[in-house]
């Protein structure tokens, strides 16, 4: 990548302010899934191993009203401490005098975890003063939070303006290197499968994606906004009214035979539906239209077969977003079938990438996580990257100091 990376930094004796994505699910003060913490360990071990003084910062959830115990990173610090077999000091805040003192007092190889950056509204506003305060806690900056790299926040972007050197951690670097293979010269057919529930984030980039891919398969909660835009009845299915117009525009772009002549844009032609107010009552709906009083909870068998067919000839696959409410076993079949089809594509020699928190949970549920070429920790971030959009968290990092190495080419 054309940015400074962790291995370029002099770490010994330095306070290394490190942005990680520790936005993990918590329940009763316990970490329920530590995938994101595990993913950052190589970077953290390198920093403390080289004698750096590690200052960790992250967001957690979406606290609306300032500091709230349920969004505290304390349980995460405790979990990390167990994983590393080492003390992780917990700061009472992420900025301020007391925190500054704690950071300054760190010895080589010691770790300080800052409190949730989203306890301040200045974080998401990328406030300059707040960014400066965060920056004073470190001497160099490392960003390993790929999942947050598509957001220009104080802890991902603003902070880099007040530190001399900012570098990509190992996780961020690996993400960029793997996703670059899809961005630069993906082997065709290149099939992208999109689903899930975060329609607003994802629908914006579909526009950019359509010029790059051979087929775009839409399932999950996202499909209903598109079906609705086509004036197909969706009953009580999840709908993002605010993005209907955008979905409509995308439909016009993909319908137009030029210049994306060869693009296949596929929406579900059948569904599994459940009663709007009773998940126990469900059945296959053989048509694209969903009757009133029912909601789509998974793609139907016809759609599964059609998606599988297209995946079976793909040389490159990217998947983000489950095909249905897969957390409920009764509604998981479509997601599990697609997961298996993507795994089979990998074994055939295709380069496959699955990204997003829930999508990772889905491939785990399907038991195919080790049969995917690259599992990306970012959902929205990987999607934007693949759409060719610059991610502010990456762009803000320092340019390489020495003469740049020749850009990595794809394997193909
Ligand atoms: P990711 O975390 O992989 O980026 P999202 O967060 O966008 O994915 O979406 C995952 C969520 O989407 C899951 O909780 C799943 O239950 C939900 N979902 C998928 N299909 C539907 C549907 N038809 N109706 C409602 N929610 C859905
Ligand atoms: Mg999610």
Residue 29 phi/psi, 5-degree rounding, is 70, 15
- Of 248, 201, 207, the C-alpha closest to 221 is 201
pLDDT class of 408 with cuts at 50, 70, 90: low
Q: Per residue in 191-250, pLDDT tens?
A: 999 999 888 878 878 878 888 899 999 999 999 999 999 999 999 999 999 999 999 988
Q: Is residue 52, in this structure, part of any structural domain at all?
A: yes
If asked whether residues 234 and 358 sit together in one domain, one would say yes
- Options 151, 198, 228, 295, the catalytic residue: 198
* Same domain? 91 vs 222: no
Q: Pocket of ligand 1, candidates 62, 196, 339, 369: which has the most ligand atoms within 8 Å of its Cβ, to mutate?
A: 196
**Residues 161 and 284 occupy one common structural domain:** no
Q: 102 and 200, same structural domain? A: no
**Do 370 and 285 reside in the same domain of the chain?**
yes
Distance separating alpha carbons of residues 381 and 344, to the nearest angstrom: 25
Q: Of the residues 110, 142, 171, which one is the last residue of a structural domain? A: 171
Rounded to the nearest whole angstrom, what is the distance from the C-alpha of residue 61 to the centroid of ligand 1? 17
Q: Is the CB of 363 under 6 A from ligand 1?
A: no
Average confidence (pLDDT) over 267-272: 98
| 198 a catalytic residue | yes
What is the residue whose two structure tokens read 């793609």? 299
How far CA 63 is from CA of 20, 76, 199, in Å, comes to: 18, 16, 21
Confidence of residue 263 (pLDDT cuts 50, 70, 90): confident
- Ligand 2 centroid to Cα of residue 357, in Å, is 5
The Cα 257–Cα 158 span in angstroms is 42
Q: Is 188 a catalytic residue?
A: no
User: Is 295 annotated in the active site?
Assistant: no
Q: CA-CA distances (angstroms) from residue 308 to 222, 244, 247?
A: 19, 27, 24
15 is annotated as an active-site residue = no
- Strand residue runs (E) in 28-144: 30-31, 53-57, 89-90, 111-113, 140-143
207 and 163, same domain (yes or no): no
Q: Which domain holds residue 80?
A: 6-171
> Is any atom of ligand 1 closer than 6 Å to the C-beta of 327?
yes
Q: What is the CATH number of the domain that holds 245?
A: 3.40.50.1260
Quote the Cα angle for 379-90-15, to 5°.
Answer: 80
- Report how far residue 326's alpha carbon sits from residue 314's, in angstroms, rounded to the nearest whole number: 24
Helices (H), 222-372: 222-229, 244-255, 301-311, 333-348, 357-365
Ligand 2 (ion): which residues have CB within 5 A? Answer: 357-358
Ligand 1 centroid from CA 324, angstroms: 6
Per the structure, how many domains does the chain have? 2
**Residue 409: what pLDDT?**
60
3-class SS of residue 363: helix
């Amino acid at each position: 990548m054309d940015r400074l990376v962790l291995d370029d930094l002099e770490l010994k004796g330095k306070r290394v302010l490190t942005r990680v994505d520790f936005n993990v699910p918590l329940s009763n003060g316990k970490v329920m899934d530590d995938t994101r913490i595990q993913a950052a360990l190589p970077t953290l071990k390198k920093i403390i191993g080289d004698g750096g003084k590690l200052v960790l910062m992250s967001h957690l959830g979406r606290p609306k009203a300032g500091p709230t115990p349920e969004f505290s990173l304390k349980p995460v610090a405790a979990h990390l401490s167990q994983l590393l077999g080492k003390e992780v000091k917990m700061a009472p805040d992420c900025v301020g005098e007391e925190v500054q003192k704690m950071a300054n007092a760190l010895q080589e190889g010691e770790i300080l975890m800052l409190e949730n950056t989203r306890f301040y509204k200045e974080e998401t506003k990328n406030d300059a003063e707040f960014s400066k305060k965060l920056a004073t806690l470190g001497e160099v900056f490392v960003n390993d939070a790929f999942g947050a790299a598509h957001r220009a926040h104080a802890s991902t972007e603003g902070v880099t303006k007040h530190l001399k050197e900012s570098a990509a951690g190992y996780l961020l670097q690996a993400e960029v290197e793997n996703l670059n293979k899809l961005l630069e010269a993906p082997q065709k057919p290149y099939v992208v499968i999109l689903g899930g529930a975060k329609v607003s984030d994802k629908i914006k980039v579909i526009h950019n994606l359509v010029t790059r891919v051979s087929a775009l398969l839409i399932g999950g909660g996202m499909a209903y906004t598109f079906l609705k835009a086509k004036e197909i009845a969706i009953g009580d299915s999840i709908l993002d009214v605010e993005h209907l117009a955008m979905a409509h525009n995308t439909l016009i772009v993909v319908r137009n035979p030029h210049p994306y002549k060869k693009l296949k844009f596929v929406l579900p032609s059948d569904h599994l539906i459940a009663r709007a107010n009773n998940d126990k009552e469900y059945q296959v709906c053989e048509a694209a239209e969903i009757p009133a009083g029912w909601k789509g909870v998974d793609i139907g068998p016809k759609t599964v077969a059609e998606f599988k067919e297209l995946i079976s000839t793909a040389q490159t696959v990217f998947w983000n977003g489950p095909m249905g409410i897969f957390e409920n076993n009764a509604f998981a079949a479509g997601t599990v079938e697609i997961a298996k089809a993507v795994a089979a594509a990998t074994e055939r020699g295709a380069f496959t990438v699955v990204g997003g928190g829930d999508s990772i949970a889905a491939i785990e549920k399907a038991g195919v996580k080790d049969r995917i070429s690259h599992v990306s920790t970012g959902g929205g971030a990987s999607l934007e990257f693949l759409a060719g959009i610059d991610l502010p968290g990456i762009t803000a990092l320092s340019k390489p100091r020495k003469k740049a190495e020749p850009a990595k080419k794809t394997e193909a």
